[in-house]
């Protein structure tokens, strides 16, 4: 029903796409690896610690505790005094720990639930246990409304980049831009839930993994599709293809081995773009054959522009018809060279969600710089507090100051705005400049803290790729990505909000914030040396 396809032909097409759009593909896969659970091997080199052995602290409350240790402590709750306890030590345990940490991520409902379980049995039911439970809930919500949605966005990017070479990396956020989240999130949740249940049967889990594999692609094409139709079409597309899909995955075994041997670096550099590109090409092949055969419910696969790139004349005609209908994109620019015509997509955003394109190359005055410094500092404090709560199940004091701000973020943001003006249209260069700026900045911060206070603000000595324990590659990469988000989106958007306030009020706000910050810094110094 879905026609014939060959792995060699599939891979040949993908290699051609990679040669033309490599940096965009690699950037998308890396962002997805950092923000979701899709590519656990990719971030191994970021999270790998030099001393991954047992910790003395409880799994529920230990920051940076590996997932393997969480499992060990959970098992210890039940078999610590039994004859079976000896089976979970030695070489076998060390190998199992390595495999678990390679193929899992701390952003996980399962592991946060285990942390909550450990807290329940090892601590009294107090605030700490409540925070652990809250962390598990936040992780659950993160998985549903962020991780799953971004994975659908990733599939959308790869479906478009095949025909539209200038597809922006921001395409991974397309469901958020459409303000259409809850239905795709529900379908993806059902997919994960059913897959988990089938995994209990082992063989059924393997079969269903391939049967459900097309659901994210189907949602990327048609986010409004019903859950029933999404599961039905995925089952139809993979019918009589599951063995070939298994062989396709098996053909990447050598690539995955190289990824493991390089601690995940090779994974995000080439393997993930290659594999995801192959799966996207396969979906388009299966979809094309299914639609041409007029098989049941084929009309639900309704995005013909994924493969048919409209000509200039077609776009002009479509534009005239669209303007007559007064769609949400009528008053904005929707023509972009070699990009998908979003105004023709089956799902249209609400009028309030459509704004003029963000201009990252805009100019900033002194007030804007000051307000952006404090905005990014507060944003950083909130972000780190939330991350610690989700991953560690506890609130952590992550600042040297008394106020809710982390100046490191603000300083980084201002330096990025000042030093990347001339290369702002080259995001790859911007990323590496951000990486360098943050690395130098954090090294100076931790060195200064060590010299004055006797200890570094952040100690990375346990991580594999660190420099004197003051910086490490994972932190630098994360902040480089965050810096790109600040430069290209947050700073322009926040500045637009600032400009809605009168000039005199903005000046007064800057003076007040600077005074509060000065008082906070003075109190911090007094307390530190008292």
Q: What is the DSSP string of 425-440?
A: T-HHHHHHHHHHHHHH
Last residue of a domain, one of 253, 285, 303: 303
CA distance 435 to 426: 15
Same domain? For 281 and 371 the reply is: no
Of 272, 303, 334, which one is at a domain's C-terminal end?
303
**Where is 334: in which H helix or E strand?**
none
Structural domain contains residue 297: yes
Is 359 a member of any domain?
no
Q: Retrieve residue 168's tokens.
A: 């922006």
Whole-number pLDDT of residue 141: 86
The residue count for the chain: 530
* pLDDT value, residue 104: 54
Phi, psi at residue 62, to the nearest 5°? Answer: -95, 115
d(CA 351, CA 387): 33
40 and 166 fall within a common domain: yes
| 469-to-65, 327, 456, 457, 473 alpha-carbon distances in Å | 18, 55, 9, 11, 11
One domain, residues 291 and 395: no
296 and 394 both lie in a single domain: no
299 found inside a domain: yes
- In whole angstroms, give the CA distance from residue 266 to residue 24: 16
Judgement on whether residues 124 and 215 belong to the same structural domain of the protein:
yes
Place of tokens 């931790």: 446
Q: Is this model's pTM higher than 0.85 or not?
A: no
Residues 377 and 298 in one domain: no
Q: Which H or E run contains 467? A: strand 466-467
Is residue 329 a part of any domain in this protein?
no
In a domain, 409, yes or no: yes
Amino acid 428: pLDDT: 85
Torsion of CA 166, 315, 149, 209, to 10 degrees: -90
Q: Are residues 122 and 234 in the same domain?
A: yes
Give me the number of domains the chain comprises: 2
pLDDT at 121: 62
Closest CA to 63 of 154, 131, 144: 131
Q: Which of 268, 303, 338 delimits the end of a domain?
A: 303
User: 389 with 286, same domain?
Assistant: no
> What's the confidence (pLDDT) of residue 56?
33
Please check whether residues 380 and 521 belong to one and the same domain. Answer: yes
- Flag residues of the chain having pLDDT under 70: 1-3, 45-135, 333-334, 389-398
> Measured between alpha carbons, how far is 244 from 282 in angstroms, rounded to an integer?
11
Both 419 and 513 in a single domain? yes
Buried/exposed code over 158-169 (b: 16+ C-beta within 10 A; e: otherwise): bbbbbbbeebbb
Same domain for 143 and 6, yes or no, is yes
* Residue 112: domain span: 1-303
Verify that 297 and 397 share a domain, yes or no: no
Does 514 map to a domain? yes
One DSSP character per residue, 375-417 reads: HHHHHHHHHHHHHHHHHHSS-----SSSSS--HHHHHHHHHHH
- Position 171 in a domain: yes
Within a domain: 415: yes
Specify the pLDDT at position 333. 66
The SS3 of residue 112 is helix
């Amino acid at each position: 029903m879905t026609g014939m396809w060959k792995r060699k032909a599939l891979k040949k097409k993908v290699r051609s796409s990679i040669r033309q759009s490599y940096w965009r593909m690699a950037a998308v896969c890396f962002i997805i690896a950092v923000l979701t659970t899709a590519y656990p091997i990719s971030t191994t080199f970021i999270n790998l610690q030099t001393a991954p052995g047992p910790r003395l602290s409880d799994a529920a409350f230990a920051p940076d505790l590996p997932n393997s240790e969480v499992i060990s402590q959970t098992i210890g709750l039940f078999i610590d005094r039994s004859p079976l306890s000896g089976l979970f030590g030695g070489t076998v345990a060390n190998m199992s720990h390595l495999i678990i940490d390679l193929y899992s991520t701390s952003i996980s409902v399962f592991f946060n639930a285990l942390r909550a379980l450990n807290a329940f049995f090892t601590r009294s039911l107090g605030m700490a246990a409540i925070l652990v439970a809250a962390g598990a809930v936040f992780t659950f919500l993160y998985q549903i409304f962020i991780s799953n949605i971004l994975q659908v966005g990733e599939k959308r990017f790869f479906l478009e980049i095949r025909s539209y070479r200038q597809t922006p990396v921001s395409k991974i956020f397309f469901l958020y831009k459409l303000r259409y989240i809850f239905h795709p999130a529900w379908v993806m949740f059902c997919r994960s839930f059913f897959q988990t249940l089938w995994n209990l049967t082992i063989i059924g889990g393997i079969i269903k993994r391939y049967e459900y594999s097309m659901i994210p692609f189907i949602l990327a094409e048609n986010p409004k599709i019903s859950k029933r139709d999404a599961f039905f079409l995925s089952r139809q597309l993979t019918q009589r293809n599951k063995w070939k899909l298994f062989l396709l995955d098996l053909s990447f075994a050598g690539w995955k081995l190289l990824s493991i041997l390089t601690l995940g670096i090779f994974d995000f550099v080439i393997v993930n773009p290659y594999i995801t590109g192959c799966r996207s090409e396969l979906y388009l092949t299966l979809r094309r054959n299914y639609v041409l055969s007029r098989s049941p419910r084929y009309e639900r696969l309704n995005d013909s522009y994924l493969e048919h790139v409209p000509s200039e004349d077609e776009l002009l005609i479509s534009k005239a018809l669209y303007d007559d209908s007064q769609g949400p994109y009528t008053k904005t620019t929707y023509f972009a060279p070699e990009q998908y015509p979003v105004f023709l997509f089956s799902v249209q955003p609400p009028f309030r969600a459509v704004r003029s394109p963000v201009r990252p190359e805009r100019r900033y005055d002194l007030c804007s710089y000051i307000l952006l410094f404090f905005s990014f500092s507060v944003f950083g404090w909130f972000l780190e507090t939330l991350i610690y709560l989700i991953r560690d199940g506890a609130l952590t004091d992550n600042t040297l100051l008394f106020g809710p701000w982390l100046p490191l973020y603000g300083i980084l943001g201002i330096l990025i705005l000042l030093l990347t003006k001339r290369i702002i249209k080259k995001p790859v260069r911007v990323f590496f400049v951000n990486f360098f700026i943050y690395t130098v900045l954090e090294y100076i911060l931790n060195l200064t803290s060590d010299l004055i206070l006797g200890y570094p603000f952040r100690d990375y000595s346990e991580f594999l790729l660190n420099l004197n324990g003051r910086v490490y590659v994972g932190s630098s990469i994360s902040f480089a990505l965050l810096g790109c988000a600040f430069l290209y989106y947050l700073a322009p958007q926040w500045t637009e909000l600032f400009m809605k306030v009168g000039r005199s009020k903005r000046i007064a706000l800057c003076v007040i914030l600077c005074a509060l910050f000065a008082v906070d810094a003075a109190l911090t110094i007094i307390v530190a040396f008292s």
